[in-house]
Structure 1
């Protein structure tokens, strides 16, 4: 539904989502032997759509090209010592801020899709119309899903989507542009495969988008994997698996894959090896035969899951020392600027630029690494060039 806003046909991108997830989970399972699910990320797809396509005015084909180039750089980082240098050189407070900021962005997107917030007349945002059937359905779905989640009900997200969708059907609440596609339509899927448009690859907007997406892929994946991996020794190969799948997803016609925060639920349930990922991949494959059911799933049923997923990602705030202003404020900028500007790259840029400045101002240069200096300068150049365009 998010990629639809970028112009990628929903009826086709659903195949890209499933196939990239299937391949990603199998690579993660067999290569890294880690219980981590790889799927197009709920955060990087927002950057793909709302920053690259909507804000920057590029086509979805160019956005796919940007994803592919960014993923190639990601692969180079993952399979070299650069991954270890960045993992050790980037402060945990910034990593946590990235994950939390993307989480808050997802909450905003989920609230919009639930029509619980809207553009205000005298403010940036205002409460949505609570008399609309779709909004009331979303509220029902949110309360139900929250109840199931806090009760620890297995499959709570799925049950919430299912029940909310059934209620929507009973009351005639349906999205106008629901996908109407089945397994037989997979023959049309080639229309979005390998469609990356590299014609503007040497232009400033393209290069800036590549830099920003690379930073998102590397640091979001790094932050998530470090946060959920039960065995830290498997981080390197899991990071490599994530990078390869991210590259393949661009060719398959969707936004880059990342390690899903929902993997934590499988790990909490006892998942410790790649068998968890492999089983999830096979379930993705089975879902190809149930695509027609998506026509009965309104945005109001999906929005609660987006909201709760975003809230779960925000628990990374607990990793930030809020009593140290030089640590907290750069992360704070990342967290608030990502949703306020609808740009993940803008939030990252301000956080990475301000962090070394505050540390130097506090006379604590010893806490800075070469990586923080280099990234700070690169992000500063990114901000300057973006302002001049």
Structure 2
């Protein structure tokens, strides 16, 4: 038997020490699977911060839209109350996604559904924000029940991969459209963008700054900077604060008026309880339940939330797999948490919650696990304290980050099987309807109907799964119901 040398003894002892150290490795890396997902604390923190900065616009957009909702008694929702509800619900739901699904995905009130909440349901539907919030709660419970069963995951699997890619590309264009609107390029009516440059003259300063931030982020991204979006947003925010507080000009005020410091004021937070109390105290009001729009709204909310959230989660999943070079499916826990988040949001006084495609910004900056999501959630909680500062972030800055996300997401357009007629038709209509109707769900609905029509036209109707046929029936019913809102 060969005698061990002194160096060999040393190496054996060192190996033993390494094994012991690895077994005693801190709880966080083990719980969030840092090794298998190739995560580091540095990248997780930067990614979590980047995701938050990309999502931060919702802290001003959600209160702005919902505070425009009329009440059945003539009042309106409190802006400050909606801000508090947005921050708290985003904190709780994002935290749950990080802790129990271990995904780098932020959760907050859904863009598009908040506009429908106010303009289609509360105002045009004449059931007030009270009825709209009650409808949101009921639809959220139904959505969660669907997600607990395997129906949601089965529907995801029966849709062709290229159609999932098309949904992602469509969401990318949709997000870019939202961002360009926030920058100031397009006019809006009832919270919905209009493809018109009629506001260019009054918004030109914000547009210039926003585009500098956007192109600067793109340049830094390709130069391999660690947090290009966060860097450019911070630079832009500092610039906006300086201009807003030193230059007395109408154009500057239009672009950066919100960036003018007016002190640490939190009196508006009292509206948080006001919104909840006023809404759910009307749950027995016959003037809400005797209107057909209430029941139609519940049905449409379920459909919209189902496909908005599912399409977004699947898109994030595809983007994550590309970056990590893995082939992971969406976990059932992520689907359940995403769905139950809508119950939390409606209980606290906001519109439907959903996973945010802006999470792709954090993923592109290194987010790999739920630890980065916890960072994002804590920043939402911190935003309560920093409310006076966060309300100073102008739309042109958050909009630039949003457009940046869109430029990343549309890369998958080359992977779509365009040569297949049924896929080409479905992808085209999905993308175009997401943008023109300002709705992810509408794009998915029309896209799937077009896909089925393409299969029939090319004599491939037999290959369409039964669930897709059932889905088409639901989509047709959805559009019929939509006509009555």
Give the TM interval when normalised to the shorter protein. Answer: 0.7 to 0.9
1:1-389 to structure 2, matched below 5 A, reads 1-3=60-62, 4-6=64-66, 7=68, 8-49=77-118, 51-53=120-122, 59-118=128-187, 125-132=195-202, 134-152=203-221, 153=225, 154=227, 155-156=230-231, 158-159=233-234, 161-166=236-241, 168-169=243-244, 170-172=246-248, 173-174=252-253, 178=258, 182-183=265-266, 185-193=268-276, 195=279, 200=288, 203-229=291-317, 230=320, 232=328, 235-387=331-483
CA RMSD in angstroms comes to 3.3
1:111-162 Cα deviation digits (max 9, x unpaired): 344332348xxxx743245443x32222222222331244134123632551
User: Contact 2:360–2:405 at 8 Å: present in 1 too?
Assistant: no
Q: CA deviation at 1:75?
A: 0.9
* 1:253-305 deviations in Å (ceiling 9; x for gaps): 11222222232333344433322222221222122111101343333333323
> How many angstroms apart in 2 are the aligned matches of 1:218 and 1:243?
8
Q: Once the two structures are superposed, what CA deviation does each residue of 1:40-76 show, in whole Å capped at 9, x if it has no partner?
A: 2334434444554566565333332232222212211
> Partners of 1:208 and 1:93 in 2: how far apart?
32
Q: TM-score, normalised by structure 2?
A: 0.69
- Give how far 1:167 is off: 5.1
Shift in alpha-carbon separation, 1:227–1:107, aligned structure 2, 3 A: closer
Q: What is the SS of the residue equivalent to 1:284?
A: helix
Deviation, structure 1 residue 388: 6.1
In the aligned structure 1, how far is the partner of 2:115 from the partner of 2:484? 24
Cα distance, 1:311–1:271 mapped onto 2, change above 3 Å: closer
Q: TM (normalized to structure 1)?
A: 0.84
Find the structure with the greater CA-based Rg: 2
3-state secondary structure, aligned to 2:104 = coil
In structure 2, distance between residues paired with 1:300 and 1:187: 29
Q: Deviations over 1:18-45 (max 9, x none)?
A: 1011101221122222222212233443
Deviation digits for residues 168-212 of structure 1 (CA, Å, limit 9, x no counterpart)? 414343469959774454333112226256654575433443333
Aligned length: 385
- Superposed CA offset, 1:68-105 (max 9, x none): 22221221122111122112123334444444434434
Q: CA deviation at 1:374?
A: 0.8
